[in-house]
């Protein structure tokens, strides 16, 4: 993945692009670290101004300081407090899918689902994948999909779009101030 992204950035540089901004809404740490590695490598190897635009919560979870030259951090609203983990096909992700792709959300099945009630300990087991993940979430979701709505999906992406685009605009105006993550 790092090499594919590096190659894409090299092509963009050859085609005259000066600034490239990565926006992503996938929370997997390994995935995000690979994107960050590709951006760092391309900035050094081919001198392209590439940036990863991400929220403060994800940046902190990835071990970033907020002062790295290849990231733009925006402040997102903290998730609603819950004693259970909501990270995979729960209410948030189901809301987004319902908003953008309503034809793939099976409402007959959706209304019968119950919260996975997965705790942080369960999440650690789930992250091992394969059979371990199936033991924690036999139906494949972490969270409570029945809290989803298309309106929630629309709001989530409007907020994401607004915050990420403002971070980019601020950088392009020369006004971006690195944030210190605590």
**16 in a structural domain:** yes
Q: Which domain holds residue 54?
A: 2-76+156-172
Q: What is the pLDDT of residue 114?
A: 94
What single DSSP character describes residue 52?
E
Residue 60 lies in a domain: yes
> C-alpha angle with apex 182: 26 to 162, nearest 5 degrees?
45
User: In terms of domains, do 11 and 65 share one?
Assistant: yes
Tokens of 64: 């970033």
Geometric angle at alpha carbon 142, from 154 and 107, rounded to 5°: 55
Query: Cα–chain-centroid distance for residue 59?
Result: 10
The string of DSSP letters for 54-109 reads EEHHHHHHTT--S--TTEEEEPPPPPPP-SS---BSSHHHHHHHHHH-GGGS-HHH
Structure tokens at 60: 């902190």
78-87, 112-121, 133-142: which has the minimum mean pLDDT? 78-87
Least Cα distance to 88 among 54, 53, 133, 50 occurs for: 133
Sheet holding 71-74, edge to edge: 19-23, 49-55, 71-74
| Residues in a beta bridge with 1 | none
Q: What does the pLDDT read at residue 77?
A: 87
pTM exceeds 0.85 for this model: yes
Residues 106 and 52 occupy one common structural domain: no
- Residue 51, classed as helix, strand or coil, is strand
Q: In this predicted model, what pLDDT tens digit does every residue of 27-77 receive, in sequence order?
A: 889 999 999 999 999 999 999 999 999 999 999 999 999 999 999 999 998
97 & 160 share domain: no
Q: What is the DSSP letter of 149?
A: -
DSSP 142: B
Number of structural domains (the chain) is 2
Q: Classify residue 181: in a domain, yes or no.
A: no
Judgement on whether residues 20 and 66 belong to the same structural domain of the protein: yes
59/123 same-domain check = no
- Do 9 and 61 lie in one domain? The reply is yes
Tell whether the model's pLDDT for residue 9 goes beyond 90: yes
Q: Please say whether the beta carbons of 126 and 110 come within 8 A.
A: no
* CATH number of the domain that residue 28 is part of: 3.40.50
Domain identity same for 162 and 142: no
Share of the chain above pLDDT 90, in %: 90
């Amino acid at each position: 993945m790092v090499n594919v992204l590096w190659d894409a950035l090299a092509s963009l540089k050859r085609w005259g692009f000066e600034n490239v901004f990565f926006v992503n809404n996938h929370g997997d740490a390994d995935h995000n670290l690979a994107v960050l590695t590709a951006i760092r490598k391309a900035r050094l190897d081919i001198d392209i101004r590439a940036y990863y635009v991400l929220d403060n919560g994800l940046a902190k979870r990835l071990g970033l300081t907020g002062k790295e030259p290849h990231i733009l951090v925006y402040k997102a609203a903290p998730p609603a407090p819950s004693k259970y983990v909501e990270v995979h096909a729960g209410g948030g992700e189901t809301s987004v899918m319902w908003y953008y792709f309503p034809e793939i959300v099976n409402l007959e099945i959706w209304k019968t689902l119950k919260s996975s009630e997965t705790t942080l300990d369960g999440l650690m087991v789930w992250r091992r994948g394969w059979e371990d993940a199936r033991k924690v979430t036999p139906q494949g979701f972490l969270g409570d999909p029945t809290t989803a709505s298309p309106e929630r999906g629309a709001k989530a992406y409007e907020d994401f779009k607004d915050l990420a685009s403002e971070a980019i605009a601020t950088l392009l105006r020369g006004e971006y101030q690195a944030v210190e993550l605590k």
